Structure 1
Amino acid sequence: MTEEVVESRLAGILEERLAEAEREQLGYAGGVTPQEAWSLAQAGDAVLVDVRSGEELAFVGRVPGSVHVAWATGTALTRNPRFVRELEAKLASHGGKEAVALLLCRSGKRSVLAAKAATQAGFTHVFNVLEGFEGEIDASGQRGHGDGWRFHGLPWIQD
């Protein structure tokens, strides 16, 4: 595929997700798969924002090139009251509140809450990365065996 075809395909994905989100009244721009998120970030069309706690990044792993803005902090996952201000500061050089931001958490649930809060604060293109970094808990009580960023073999590093 040519670069132009890839860019057109990626733009089409975002347009589809925006339309779906509007129809479903999600309260944010919609969801993208981990593979789509990686492609968009690599193409420079979006900023991947990890909203997990600092502890999760350090002990579980993180996506290279992503930026970090914790939605909640500490082991109790206390809501970060500065989330919106910190997100705006991290996205300032990428278009601020108009930047395409792809929010990633452990399973795709906290990032929905963060996307809704950002949208309510005036961000216009905030998407949730479906499945999250580790995915859902399976029947054995473990994550990462059926879905999630790492399950799909996408790039990640660990400190």
Structure 2
Amino acid sequence: MSVEVEEDLALLPPALEEARIRAADAGWPYAGGVTPPVAWALVQGGQAVLVDVRSGEERKFVGHVPESLHVAWATGTALTRNPRFVRELEARLAKHGGKDAVALLLCRSGKRSALAAEAAAKAGFTHVFNVLEGFEGEIDARQHRGASDGWRFHGLPWVQD
């Protein structure tokens, strides 16, 4: 491990240090992933910013985490990739440290947020993590979400318009 990486890890909360180590071991192209309860604890402790990368429609009709930032990775019902995602993310995180902000990206199941975290890392964001399980969780054998994982499954705060 390089000296820069070791110094970087020393500045992160322990949960994010562990996430970064797991990500490096797994070969993930971004900082790492945390579960929804860990993400909420980090946000509540002022150690991270939660960024919802779902579409505006998903946030409105499915619900969202209060006071989370919003930067859509994809838009509309066809989920067309947002070509301005990285620029918009940097603008939204400007008052939180910009590309050095500790940001936790949340989508429906953790898949789009992983892609968004990868794009952010490639653009020079140093502490962008994926919220594993997402807001609604994985789809189960009955074709339902939220029965075994996800932000809402864990009983974490959320609101619906």
TM-score bracket, normalised by the shorter chain, equals over 0.9
| Runs of 5+ unmatched residues, structure 2 | 1-11
Which residue number in structure 1 is paired with residue 103 of structure 2?
A: 101
Which residue number in structure 2 is paired with residue 22 of structure 1?
A: 24
- Deviations along 1:74-97, one digit per CA (max 9) or x if unpaired, are 000000000000000000000000
Which residue number in structure 2 is paired with residue 57 of structure 1?
A: 59
Please tell me whether residue 110 in structure 1 is matched to residue 127 in structure 2: no
Following the alignment from structure 1 to structure 2, what is the Cα–Cα distance between the partners of residues 45 and 32?
13
Q: In the alignment, which of 34, 37, 42 is matched to residue 35 of structure 1?
A: 37
Following the alignment from structure 1 to structure 2, what is the Cα–Cα distance between the partners of residues 153 and 23?
30
Deviation, structure 1 residue 138: 0.9
Following the alignment from structure 2 to structure 1, what is the Cα–Cα distance between the partners of residues 132 and 18?
15
- Structure 1 residue ranges, 4+ long, deviating more than 2 angstroms after superposition: none
Scaled by the length of structure 1, the TM-score of the pair is 0.93
Scaled by the length of structure 2, the TM-score of the pair is 0.92
* Aligned-CA RMSD value: 0.8
The count of aligned residue pairs is 150
Following the alignment from structure 1 to structure 2, what is the Cα–Cα distance between the partners of residues 17 and 135?
19
Following the alignment from structure 2 to structure 1, what is the Cα–Cα distance between the partners of residues 137 and 99?
28
Which residue number in structure 1 is paired with residue 156 of structure 2?
A: 154
Deviation, structure 1 residue 30: 0.6
Deviation, structure 1 residue 34: 0.1
Which residue number in structure 1 is paired with residue 4 of structure 2?
A: none
Which residue number in structure 2 is paired with residue 126 of structure 1?
A: 128
Which residue number in structure 2 is paired with residue 7 of structure 1?
A: none
Deviation, structure 1 residue 22: 1.5
- Deviations along 1:110-129, one digit per CA (max 9) or x if unpaired, are 00000000000000000000
| Runs of 5+ unmatched residues, structure 1 | 1-9
Which residue number in structure 1 is paired with residue 139 of structure 2?
A: 137
Identical-residue share of aligned pairs (%):
75
Which residue number in structure 2 is paired with residue 6 of structure 1?
A: none
The 5-angstrom pairing of residues 77-96 of structure 1 reads 77-96=79-98
